[in-house]
Amino acid sequence: MEAVGLTKRYGGRTAVDEVSFSVSRGEVLGLLGPNGAGKTTAIRLLTTMLTPSSGQFRVAGVDCGKPNDIRRRIGVLPESAGYPEHHSGSEYLLYHARLFGLNRTDAAGTTERLLAEVGLADRASSAIATYSRGMRQRLGIARALVNDPAVVFFDEPTLGLDPAGQRQVLGIICDIAQRRGAAVVLSTHALTEVEDVCTSVLILRQGTVLAAGTVAEVIGTVAAQPTAQLRVPSDMIARAAESLASAPGLQLETTADTLRITLAPGGDGHVPDTNAVLRAVLDAAIPVLSFDLEGTRLSDAFLAMTSQEPR
């Protein structure tokens, strides 16, 4: 899928402004941004629910001017999708499979296979009203796959799910990209999810692209100084600080129960090795309770980018 200069205006307000990107089969693109960044609008443009004010996109070789043909090639799990409460899971999927042109026999086969894939085979004939939120999301994912799509869009798929449910849904999303070979666009606020499953990311703010590339590339665009929080037994903080005092490029700051270490780059731009820091503490026979690196995660880059004043 490829989008070039995609723009959506509502009167004087621009919801999506000149967004361009591409995503290939087997890749997972993370679409990030604060609330109101234009993520859902971008997805609705790409899924033909909205018409772009300018720009264009192609899905599996089909131009955006053919919305019906595009819809045949995409699968979508919309944000906060609703479900007919009195239908069973299999009835719901059967209906959507029929809407995609499958005959009764094929639709029944697809329904059965997809329900098994998302782990709902044993609840196929239960009313959706009795499904948990996680089960509904998995049913929504199954619905998005009834047409064996080339591109699948997920808009906040883990919203409101417990950690187990989140992990399950993310596992299914990875599987869709890896095993089915579909291109996946994942819009989410959960940045750890993106780091775990996405091959590339696109960060939006107020409709414009702030950063794009692989997770490492995007983190690299923000030169935040990495810091580390070292927790050792409180009576050993002074000793820990002492053991690190001679190490080059470290700025130490002690609090009641932690030692905050700023890994300042030296004159050659080289950032001190975190392994060496840990080794020095361990060599001093100080037990490490925890060691958390900050400034090296996507969430750090995201916050640094999105907290800047908009242009």
Partner 1 sequence: MSWYVVTAREWRDLWLGGRGPILMFALSILLSAITYLAATNQILNYLEQREAVNLTLQVAVAVGALVTLVVSADAISGERERATLESLLLAPVSRRAIVLGKLTAAVSLWLGAFAVAVPYLWALGRGVSALVPAMVTGLVVGTLLAVGLSAVGLLISIRSKSNKVSVSVSLFLLLALFAPTQLPTPHGAFGVFLDRLNPVAAALHYLTTVVVNGRGWTHDLSYLASSLAVALVGVPTLMILAPRIVHLVAGDHR
| Interface region with partner 1, contact rule CB under 8 A, candidates 17-25, 96-104, 191-199, 273-281 | 96-104
> Of the two residues 82 and 163, which places its CB atom closer to partner 1 in the complex?
82
- Per CB under 8 A, the list member of 69, 112, 196, 294 interacting with partner 1 is 69
Find, among 166, 122, 169, the residue nearest to 141 by Cα. Answer: 169
| Interface region with partner 1, contact rule CB under 8 A, candidates 18-26, 57-65, 77-85, 172-180 | 77-85
> Of the two residues 47 and 200, which places its CB atom closer to partner 1 in the complex?
47
Quote the CA–CA distance of 214 and 212 in Å, as a whole number.
Answer: 7
The CB-of-14 to partner 1 minimum distance in angstroms stands at 14
Q: Convert residues 227-266 into a mask of x (bound to partner 1 by CB under 8 A) and - (unbound).
A: ----------------------------------------
C-beta of residue 93 within 8 angstroms of C-beta of residue 110: yes
Can you point out the beta strands (E) in 103-237? 151-155, 183-187, 200-205, 208-213, 227-231
Burial (CB count within 10 angstroms: exposed 0-12, middle 13-18, buried 19+), residue 115: buried
Could you say whether residue 293 binds partner 1 (CB under 8 A)? no
CB neighbour burial string for 124-151, b if at least 16 within 10 angstroms, e if fewer: beebbeebeebbbbbbbbbbbbbbebbb
C-beta of residue 40 within 8 angstroms of C-beta of residue 194: no
> Of the two residues 152 and 230, which places its CB atom closer to partner 1 in the complex?
152
Could you say whether residue 99 binds partner 1 (CB under 8 A)? yes
> How many C-alpha atoms does 301 have within 13 Å on its Cβ side?
26
Could you say whether residue 224 binds partner 1 (CB under 8 A)? no
DSSP state string for 226-272:
PEEEEE--GGGHHHHHHHHTTSTTEEEEE-SSEEEEEE---TTSPPP
- Per CB under 8 A, the list member of 35, 68, 275, 290 interacting with partner 1 is 68
- Per CB under 8 A, the list member of 44, 136, 205, 297 interacting with partner 1 is 44
Could you say whether residue 58 binds partner 1 (CB under 8 A)? no
Size of the site for partner 1 (CB under 8 A): 27
Q: Is 13 helix (H, G, I), strand (E, B) or coil?
A: strand
The residues in 133-152 that bind partner 1, with binding defined as CB under 8 A, are 140, 143
The CB-of-9 to partner 1 minimum distance in angstroms stands at 12
Contact residues toward partner 1 (CB under 8 A) are 10, 44, 47, 49-50, 68-69, 71-72, 74, 76, 78-84, 86, 95-96, 98-101, 140, 143
